Structure 1
């Protein structure tokens, strides 16, 4: 009997694109994971045999990293008869990488004494040929941690999924629709707490703001219909093989009404036993600006 091949996933991509999150996601679904293993040791690791699938994180911070060296390693691993190789590349837009570095104030590994812009540009240029060789490419620009984990599981180990991961978020129409959204609901017709002086400074997570929005006679009928439709559609999405569903509520400023709806729906679906995460785009942006100030 021919021995089973070792499933090996090489995880790479620019610094800040989410490699550590992807490694943790693979570990959660049963992979043995090693981050920043020197590339010269990878063949030796495989020669020792593996009882579980392997996921190795390799990027510019790896000790003996070079683009040519990684391409050569990919060719060597692909030629092995005992290994089933997948190159997972985590991509990300340049502006998002720069924003992430500015938020964390970390130095870029390829430009420790220079600006993050220099490091990002240098690394993206270095990884271009590797990106072209990717078996699976995930753009993480608009994904949060939960969404990225769901995408990794969907592409690498779809049989490991335990259910549909839901993201409920709020946003402001002034800044446009969020990307990668499946269902959008406009709640600008509801009573706006912004026009109540005592409520304007708070957001939709505040009990007084939530009570004001829910007091609108149209709230209950609208919310009940949203819940009914969501519960009706979830089994259909699961049957279709969808791993992640994103639902968004929009209002004028993204601070009050949409936040109330997102929080209320997330709580309702969580009580149904669904796996739910919440994101408030404008509140997150405001918190980032305040921390910078």
Structure 2
């Protein structure tokens, strides 16, 4: 079983999350190159878990292309780690405030992994700046 920790975080507030597994490494993706829905008045108080923000990211930004590339990159490692019996991988998504783009990315990648690797992986999703979204 491969345990995958997925984090959304803020570069300004907490910085890149540490890997507490002892392995070090993993992936950190910078979402700041994607247009920020937080600059749109109606989305300022929302998060990447809200439908309006998600629709904005999916239709007004390069987020769909960004996530397709991320899926390809992480799938290479997940396949390899499963084949070699590795037990841990960390995937981080950062943006300015850890509220919109990184939250959305973390959620969508967690969904992707659950769908593609339903038996072989266990996912823990951490929203470092949005603890109300953690379950």
What residue number does 1:275 align with?
122
> Which secondary structure state, in structure 2, belongs to the residue aligned with residue 198 of structure 1?
helix
Deviates more, 1:175-184 or 1:251-260: 175-184
Q: Give the deviation of 1:249 after TM superposition.
A: 0.3
Correspondence for 1:168:
6
Alpha-carbon contact 1:191-1:212 (below 8 Å) kept? no
Whole-angstrom CA distance in 2 between matches of 1:189 and 1:245: 24
1:17-43 superposed Cα distances (whole Å, 9 cap, x missing partner)? xxxxxxxxxxxxxxxxxxxxxxxxxxx
Please state whether the residue corresponding to 2:8 is helix, strand or coil. strand
Q: CA deviation at 1:268?
A: 1.0
* Equivalent residue number for residue 232 of structure 1: 76
Cα distance in 2, alignment partners of residues 215 and 277 from structure 1:
28
- Structure 1 residue 211: deviation in Å? 1.1
Kindly indicate whether the alpha-carbon contact (under 8 Å) linking 2:7 and 2:17 is maintained by their aligned counterparts in 1. no
Q: Which residue does 2:22 correspond to in 1?
A: none
Structure 2 stretches lacking a partner, 5+ long: 20-24
TM superposition score normalised by structure 2: 0.84
TM (norm. structure 1) is 0.40
Mark the runs of 5 or more structure 1 residues left unpaired by the alignment: 1-162, 288-293
Bigger radius of gyration: 1
- The answer to whether the 8 Å contact 2:29/2:93 transfers is yes
Q: Secondary structure at the match of 2:43?
A: coil
Q: How many residues of Structure 1 are paired with residues of Structure 2 in the alignment?
A: 123
Question: Does residue 179 of structure 1 match 2:21?
Answer: no
Q: How does 1:190-229 map to 2 (within 5 A)?
A: 190-229=34-73
Query: Which of 188, 211, 220 is residue 32 of structure 2 equivalent to?
Result: 188
Following superposition of structure 1 onto structure 2, how do residues 30-109 of structure 1 map, counting pairs within 5 Å?
A: none
